[in-house]
Every structure is written in C-alpha cells, then in structure tokens.
Structure 1
Amino acid sequence: MHSSQTGNRQSAIASQQAETAQNALAAATQPLTKNDKQQTVNVAIFASGTGTNAQKLIDHFRHHQQIKIALIVCNKPGAGVLTIAQKENIPSLIIEKEKFFRGNAYVDELKQHNINFIVLGGFLWKVPVLLIQAFPQRIINIHPALLPNYGGKGMYGRFVHEAVITAKEKESGISIHYVDELYDHGQLIFQARCVIEADETADSLAQKIHSLEHEHYPLIVEKVIRELQNRR
C-alpha cells in the first residue's frame, strides 16, 4: 500500500473515531443533566476477575429506583464476574483488545445498552482515550492503595500489597478516583485507610483492603451519580 493510501486510511479511522466519540458524548452526558431526577442511570461495570466488587455493587443497587447495574463488561472469557452476570441475569459483554484500543472502544455497544456511567472494579486494561472522551467524568475506578503512591502500570492486586509491605508503610487503604488517560491518575474522589500491623502479610492486608472496598465503593458510586443527577 502506498504511503498516501495509508495516510488516507489512518485519517479516515481517526475521523470515524472522533465522530463516534462526539456522538457518544451527547448520549453519555444527557441523562445525567436532565431535570427529571426520576430517570434511571444505567451503569456498566468493567471487571477482569472474580467480580467481588461487582457483586457488592449489584447487591447495593438491586432495588434502587434511579440507578441500575445494566451491563457487565469483561476482557477475560471465563472470568468469575461473567458467572455473576449470568446468575444475576445482567447482560454481559466480552471485549477484545484490538477493538478496544484501535477500534471504537465499544462505545457503540455501550450506547445500545443506554449506559450513562462506568464503574471499574478490578479491570486491568488501561481505558482508551476514546472511551474517556465519550464518558467525561463518567468513569471511576477503585485502587487498592493510597494514591498517588503505589499506582501505575502493573500495580494491581497482590503486587500493590507486596510493595506496601516491603516499603514498611504504617498504613494503606483504598482510593476512588475519576479515570483519565493515565493509570491511577485521575482526580481523587475518596480515600479510606487501614493500619498495617508489624506482622502484616500481603494476604492479610488484602483482606483489609477488600473489606474497605466492599464497604465504601457502592456508597461512593451512588454519591457521585446523585451529584451528577443534581447538576443543573
């Protein structure tokens, strides 16, 4: 393929992605800015693993009048979170890396499910810019440490807890934040802390962190969405 043809193809792809983001932006933001406070906000949970946070979110919003867990998105076929989706009769979407990072980032599929808000719960892929543009200030994540420390690429799960223990920290905790173009970098929304004992292990610290996640994440998600609903 000639360089001019390659350039034209790349320009066409970029133009298509920009149009997709612009269209999705209107769809993503409109429901949360309406004066009708009774409109249901449809939430998509992105997860890669067992889905313990997803289950807590589902339980919390099961009978909620204005917030609904409407979709489970997963990048790992066979992950436990997909079993939860099936058990709870919630639609699920398995995503592929090529389309997520070089295609439309599944924005069209999210629109088809009328998704207004995205919650990451143990989702290990970096969120592409196209998706962030489509859902500005509508994507939040939970991280198992006190950001800005112990964040970034590769810092998830046990890797975080081992790093915290090795550094002989006196405390750890959770951070809930908006998602931007960098790993674990967006504006902080909430943090909760726990004490690290002298004989703490990565496993025992993980249990403390999971308890904090399960206690606070559903409540903070609800708080953030309610604040968005109340904006004029």
Structure 2
Amino acid sequence: MLNIMIFASGSGTNAENIIKHFSNSDLARVSCVLTNNPNAGVIARAEKMNIPVRAFSKTDMKSEEFSTFLKENADFIVLAGFLLMVPKAIISEFHGRMINIHPALLPKYGGKGMYGMHVHQAVVENREKESGITIHYVNEHYDEGAIIFQKAVTLSDSDSPEDVAAKIHRLEQENFPMIIENLLKELNAG
C-alpha cells in the first residue's frame, strides 16, 4: 500500500476529493495532510475523514526532522493548492514522485503569485478563449516542472473570474484523482 501525502494551504476541496478517491483503494491511501496554514479549511475536511493533519511553518519545512518524516512516511506527494516553494532537498528526494495541479494551461499564467483567483482574473482580463488545468511534476521553479496532463475548457466572453474558477474546479475534480492513480500504478509496476 502506497502512502500519499497531500500538501495544501487552502479550503481543501481537491484534497478531500483525493482522500475520497483512495478511501477504498488497494493501491494507495492518503496517510496525512500537511499544511502551512493553521486556519486552512483543509484541516477540518481531513479530520472529518479521519486523516491525520500536520501543520508546519516555512522554517519547519526546511528542517532535517521534516525531511526525515517525509522520507519515512510518504511514497508520493501531491500539492493540492499548496502555495509555498518546496525546498530543493525534498524535491530531490521525491524526484518523479511529487506533483502539483495548476489552474491554468501552463506555461501561461504560471509562476510566483499566480494561483487561485489571481489566475482566473488574468485569464478573463486577457480575454482568453480557453483555460484549463495542468498537472505537472514539481521542480525548483514555480509551475515549471514537466507536464504530465492538461485539460482545457472553453470560455465565453461573458465568463467572470468566478465562472472560470467553477469550470476549472470541475476539471480538477474529474481528472486529478485519476491522474494520481495512473502515476501510482506506474510507480508500483516499476
């Protein structure tokens, strides 16, 4: 049984969806949710589903103790609305086993500060005809890791940033857990 650790900073809808997806799996389970935000909605969502939660600071994340905890307890790391840069040592340790989801079609609308409604606002302001999600490996640069999966959705001229967010959220809910499962099957087979 593979252990998935989810890093999240916000409300936790993607984390909850992933936890549900793997709740009866023989392949993997979500063993812990980690958050840098002690007020994040993901905490209540995880606890409601009996998933342990560990809050940490930016300083904690750079510690040897934190790194050891991950090495000993995680087979795969999923960033689901996690806003901090992951330290290079952790990225190196989990090379090919750490992924992120981004609410746009990278390389457009990626990089530091481009998350959540900031992305959707920029997409609307630039009158984009489509947006979507990108699932990618994590590297030392925000949103620049190798792309694993992208899915687009058509936008209309009347879409508000909130409308775009709702369309993107549907794509995340439909696709993220299955992409994780496929990657874990490959990892398990290798």
Residue in structure 1 matched with residue 103 of structure 2 by the alignment: 144
Q: Percent identity?
A: 47
- 1:37-94 CA-to-partner distances (Å, cap 9, x unmatched) read xxx1000000001100001001110100121100000001021111112111111111
Mapped contact 1:42–1:68 kept (Cα < 8 A): yes
- 1:145-171 CA-to-partner distances (Å, cap 9, x unmatched) read 000110000000000001111111110
Specify the SS of the correspondent of 1:182: coil
Residue in structure 1 matched with residue 123 of structure 2 by the alignment: 164
Residue in structure 1 matched with residue 176 of structure 2 by the alignment: 217
What CA distance in whole angstroms lies between the structure 2 residues aligned with 1:181 and 1:51?
24
2:178 is the counterpart of 1:192: no
What CA distance in whole angstroms lies between the structure 1 residues aligned with 2:84 and 2:64?
15
Of 25, 42, 66 in structure 2, the residue corresponding to residue 106 of structure 1 is 66
Of 97, 121, 128 in structure 1, the residue corresponding to residue 87 of structure 2 is 128
With normalisation by structure 2, the TM-score equals 0.97
What CA distance in whole angstroms lies between the structure 2 residues aligned with 1:153 and 1:128?
15
1:1-232 → structure 2 map (5 Å cutoff): 40-101=1-62, 103-104=63-64, 106-112=66-72, 114-231=73-190
Q: What are the ranges of 5 or more consecutive residues in structure 2 without an aligned counterpart?
A: none
What CA distance in whole angstroms lies between the structure 1 residues aligned with 2:65 and 2:56?
9
With normalisation by structure 1, the TM-score equals 0.80
- 1:189-224 CA-to-partner distances (Å, cap 9, x unmatched) read 000000110101100000000000000000000001
Q: What are the ranges of 5 or more consecutive residues in structure 1 without an aligned counterpart?
A: 1-39
- 1:91-117 CA-to-partner distances (Å, cap 9, x unmatched) read 11111111213x2371112234x2110
The amino acid across from 2:24 in the alignment is: H
Mapped contact 1:144–1:157 kept (Cα < 8 A): yes
- 1:134 Cα deviation (Å)? 1.3
Mapped contact 2:79–2:99 kept (Cα < 8 A): yes
The amino acid across from 2:166 in the alignment is: Q
Specify the SS of the correspondent of 2:64: coil
Determine which structure has the larger strand proportion and give its number: 2
What CA distance in whole angstroms lies between the structure 2 residues aligned with 1:223 and 1:43?
13
Displacement over 3 Å in runs of 4+: none
The amino acid across from 1:142 in the alignment is: I
Structure whose CA Rg is larger: 1
